[in-house]
Each structure stands twice: as structure tokens, then as C-alpha cells.
Amino acid sequence: MTVKTLEDLLSEGVSGRRVLVRSDLNVPLDGSVITDDGRVRAALPTIRRLAEAGAKVIVAAHLGRPKGTPEAKYSLRPVADRLGELLGKEVRLAGDVVGEQARAVVAGLADGDVALLENVRFDPRETSKVEDERAELARDLAALTAEGGAFVSDGFGVVHRKQASVYDVARALPAYAGGLVLAELEVLSKLTGDPQRPYVVVLGGSKVSDKLAVIEALLPKVDRLLIGGGMAFTFLSAQGHSVGSSLLEQDYVETARKLLAEHADKIVVPSDVVVADKFAADAATDTVAAEKIPDGWMGLDIGPRTTEHFAAEVAAAKTVFWNGPAGVFEMAPFAAGTKGVAQAIADSDAFSVVGGGDSAAAVRVLGLPEEKFSHISTGGGASLEYLEGKELPGVAVLEGGA
């Protein structure tokens, strides 16, 4: 792709200039405590390089799904504090997005300083479907940079969104692709181009409906598609098995049946599952064959036989893409499948990509060394849409399209 990059901007010189950076800082919180700072750490290199080059860095980001108005639980205060710790300098948080407080904080920036605007989704124009409303917010964001301003798109996790701070602002300011966005696109292009074979994809998560488009896009390209997580039960139902009270998307059973018929040589579903009598960490559990789930019980993880099978498929692969946990890994009784698959990927010699979201969180929560994976993506939804072959608005606009 042909875009201006962070390197281009730095070569132009940024000392004394205000640079707006769109980062993806949508981290999981427990109250006000960040439980996984992976996205903050991924955003650091671009922010640090600009600050060290003397730019006055203004970071825009979102957290959660506020309804276009300020909500204390979605404040970026914990993110500002953590970003400051990692940078080794104070990161001032503006009390609003583009209002009086934002203007005051930005005006007080010295060369090399970093400020974080409050959650951009507190402004309803950010996610508006009305182009003029988004464009208005984009102009307000651009105005914060004053004369000589620039925009760096570095939030890969949001480039599939046509939103003001991702898309429209790139039309209001000279726009550049940040290092994180470029790295993500380079890695994902290896999966859609001519990947080394065998090429194995591991898909988990709760719903077939969320992953159907990527399943259909990947099946012609992969050698094996290993299906775990809640979505597996729709496929097991399609095989004629009773799934008890497991998660089941009845509307997609026929689709799953067709996929199994057309790609029987590629699709691998669980042969055994860990079941529970309720959705809770203290539930009674058992391991049963996939076709023998008792009535009233729910499958919450792949079983040990399936984990071993998946691990063997991964071990033989030259390229692996993993998106979605194999079970409810947040609860200890149902974490073994996800950990087993993740460990197999970590131990393999394959070019391995972890597709963001819950999978990336699982790597860190389960204590696996991140350096054992070739790439851990910061953008689950964006990664999937790229692999589906969809145009990513936040990338297209940098190329002068969309």
C-alpha cells in the first residue's frame, strides 16, 4: 500500500509541532485497575518517538461503549496514569474531548510533552452515522493541533471503524500511518498472500455468527480449521448431536452443516468437551464425548483429547492464525483447552499470529511468554475484517481512498 508513514513525518521534522495520534487504548478494567495493559504498551513506540523528536503529542482514544456522553466508569484516567508510568513522564488527561479543558491542556504542552484527550466516544459525533456530524468533530480535533499540525493513525484495533477520530480526521489533517498499523498490515498480508503450508487456523469465541464471514473467506485458503469455544456447539448440532444447554445458534446450524459437508477434510470440531451443570467457576464438571453432552449441562471448554488433537495439528503447521479462546478461560476449570492450544502455538516453529481481543488477553492472563508468538495483534475485529477481504476505512483513507 502507498501511504505516508511515521518515518515520513519524522523526516519532515516535528519539533514544536502538535501531532494528534489516534491510539487504541481500549483496555480491560476491573473497577479502575487495568487488568491487561497490552494495548497501552503497543501504543508506546509511536508516542515515544514523536515525543523524543520534540513533538507536542495529543493522544485520542476510546474506552468501552459509552453512549455519546461522559460516564465515569469509562474515563481514560487509569490509562493516562499507566501511559505516564511507561513513558516515565506525566501524561496530562484533558477533562473533555475537544472542549475548553482540552484546549487548555493542549495549550500548556511543551516540546516533547504528551496529553491524552478524554474518551473520544463521550462525544456523540465520534460514532455518528451522519458524515457532517463526524466531520465537525474531526475539524474540532484538527483545530487542537493548530498551524503545522499532523495526524498519525496508530490504532489498528479501530481502523475498521468509519469514525471521526479514525477516518474523518485523516481528511482534515496531513495524515500518516503509525508504526503499529504498518506492522499489523504487514503481518496480516502474509496470511492472505502465500502463507507457508500447512496453514492452520484456530477459531474460538462464542458465536458462529461473529466469525462466519472469516470462516467462509479462510476455508479455501487453509489446510485445517480447528473450531473451539462456544461456536463449536453449533457445528456439533449440525452433526446431529445434542448439545444440552450449551451455547447454540439455531439459525446457523444449517450453514454449519453445509460448511461441514463442503469442507469435511479441513474442518475439525471437538471430539470431547468439559461440561458443567451451571455457568460458574464452582460448577460441577465432567469430561464427556462431544456426542454425549447430558441434558441440562453445558459445554464450557474443549476436552483433553481435543486439546491434544489441536496441539498436534498446530505442531505440524508452518503458519498458524489463532482468534478466539477454546473455552471460558477466565474460569480455572475451563481454561485448560485455551492454555493447551496457546502453549502448542508458542512451542511451534510456525509463523504464528494471535488475532487480538480475547486471544491476546488469554496469552497474558495465562502467563505465556509473548515473545514465543511471531505476532500478537492489537485488533481482533480489524484483523478478522482484513482476513475477510473487507476494506478497512481507517486504512483506505490514508491511501487517499474511501
Task: Give the span between the Cα atoms of 290 and 43, in whole angstroms.
Answer: 42
Q: Pick the catalytic residue: 207, 305, 318, 364?
A: 207
Give the start-end residues of each E strand in 294-341: 298-302, 319-323
Query: Average pLDDT of 31-40?
Result: 91
How do residues 98-154 score in pLDDT, each as one tens digit? Answer: 999 999 999 999 999 999 999 999 999 999 999 999 999 999 999 999 999 999 999
Question: Distance of alpha carbon 401 from its chain centroid, rounded?
Answer: 24
Residue 157 is which amino acid? G
> Is the pLDDT at 207 greater than 90, yes or no?
no
For the annotated binding site for substrate, the residues are 24-26, 39, 62-65, 121, 161
Of 178, 327, 357, 394, the active-site residue reads: 357
Catalytic residue among 22, 39, 56, 224: 39
> How many Cβ atoms from other residues are within 10 Å of residue 285's Cβ?
14
Give the residue numbers of the binding site: 24-26, 39, 62-65, 121, 161, 211, 299, 330, 356-359
Which domains are delineated in the chain?
A: 6-182 (3.40.50.1260), 193-388 (3.40.50.1260)
Annotated active-site residue 381? The verdict is yes
Per-residue pLDDT tens for 259-313?
Answer: 999 999 999 999 999 999 999 999 999 999 999 999 999 999 999 999 999 999 9
For this structure, is 39 an active site residue? Answer: yes
Which of 95, 112, 179, 381 is the catalytic position?
381
Q: Where are the beta strands (DSSP E) in 180-339?
A: 199-203, 224-227, 267-268, 272-276, 285-289, 298-302, 319-323
In 3-state terms, what secondary structure has residue 254?
A: helix
* Chain mean pLDDT for the chain: 95
Q: Is 204 a catalytic residue?
A: no
Q: Provide the pLDDT for residue 402.
A: 54
Of 164, 161, 127, nearest to 142 (Cα)?
164
- Residue 207 falls in the annotated catalytic set: yes
User: Contact 325/229 with Cβ under 8 angstroms?
Assistant: yes
* Interatomic CA distance for residues 234 and 352, integer angstroms: 27
CA distances from 161 to 128, 208, 294, 358 (A): 11, 22, 42, 19
pLDDT at 1: 61
Q: Are 154 and 43 spatial neighbours (Cβ–Cβ below 8 Å)?
A: yes
Binding site, annotated residues for ATP: 211, 299, 330, 356-359
